[in-house]
Amino acid sequence: MAPRRPGKPAERRLLSPRRALPAPAAAVLLLALTLSSCSALSPRRITLQALEAAPVTRVKRFEPSVVTDPQSLAPLARRLTARVDLIHVRSAADWERLRAVAPRIGGAPDFSRGAVVGLAVHSGRPLEPGWPLDIDALRVFDGCGLLSATFHGGSFLADGSTYLRLVQAPDLQGVVAVELNGARFYPD
């Protein structure tokens, strides 16, 4: 039998460690990878230390939204855990696709200023008041981002609800690392 992990049962399911790496291994992995999706001019090597040392970027926050059809997010999403997706929006067409299932986010931003990124959490409806997810910080280095967020555990009604938080940062081209409640995830 596997040893029990600390934390509330809902948090353990949400933050499955199957994709998280220890910090030293992650630094080596990021150092070894060429991250061409972040640098518009040429592929560059971005280290985790460079992302962590970058200042917190001032972001434009969009209205949080409940997603009416989570399957429609698939073209814009990268799976981080069984219940959390990284959302990446780069164009007005992608924005309209997202807006069709999350109408509260409003009109399309100016994508020449940077990409829109966020997290979708497939938690169900929280029984306590408040939004189940907050984006705490975004650090950007050479177009690449480290997104830090907090999931607020608790009791949830398993009704299939998906909650969305989005931000836009100047010069952001892509997120290469996500920190969720202290666990790190590295999208494919």
What's the number of CA atoms in the CB half-sphere (13 Å) around residue 49?
A: 5
Q: What is the pLDDT of residue 44?
A: 66
Which residues are paired to 149 by β-bridges? Answer: 135, 180
The mean pLDDT of 5-15, rounded to a whole number, is: 42
Cα separation of 39 and 19, whole Å?
24
The domains of the chain are located at 9-185
pLDDT at 177 over 90: yes
> Averaged over 53-81, what is the pLDDT?
94
Q: So what's the pLDDT on residue 23? A: 52
28-47 pLDDT, tens digit each: 444 334 344 454 434 568 88
pLDDT category at 3 given cuts 50, 70, 90 is very low
Max CA distance (Å), the chain? 52
